Amino acid sequence: MSQGTDIAIESGSIILMKNSLLDVAAALQLSIKVMRRIKQNIFWAFAYNMVLVPVAAGLLYPFFGITFRPELAGLAMALSSVTVVSFSLSLKRFNPSAYVAHE
């Protein structure tokens, strides 16, 4: 299947590299997992920013005297990015159940 013409390969949304239709099922499973991970990452990034951006802006200082030094705010934002990337890298361990059932 990967032996198609170059124009067909370029215009295809997915390309099967082996002659197995189980790859279609695996691609669908992976796409579902990727979309779920994207939604989780957006949720956690949004929740994180909803909590820490007001703290970093000094919103809690008049009421509780809590401040967030700029270097710590930058570190916290970097850790947020590292968390999102780490969650996304867990997709590298994806093992489609179509192959597990087939083998």
Mean pLDDT by 10 residues, the chain (103 residues): 63 73 84 92 89 84 85 86 90 76 48
Quote the pTM value.
Answer: 0.69
Task: Single out the residue of 39, 38, 18, 14 nearest to residue 28, CA to CA.
Answer: 14
Whether 14 is in a domain gets the answer: no
Whether 2 is in a domain gets the answer: no
Tally of domains within the chain: 1
pLDDT recorded at residue 99: 57
Q: Which two tokens stand for residue 94?
A: 């994806």
Whether 46 is in a domain gets the answer: yes
Angle at Cα 34 formed by Cα 28 and Cα 36, nearest 5°? 105
Q: Quick check: helix, strand or coil at residue 68?
A: coil
CB 99 within 8 A of CB 26: yes
pLDDT recorded at residue 103: 47
pLDDT recorded at residue 85: 92
Q: Print the domain residue range for 35.
A: 19-102
- C-alpha torsion 36→37→40→46, nearest 10: -120
Amino acid 30 reads L
Whether 7 is in a domain gets the answer: no
**Residue 62: half-sphere exposure toward Cβ, Cα within 13 Å:** 3
pLDDT recorded at residue 71: 87
Whether 26 is in a domain gets the answer: yes
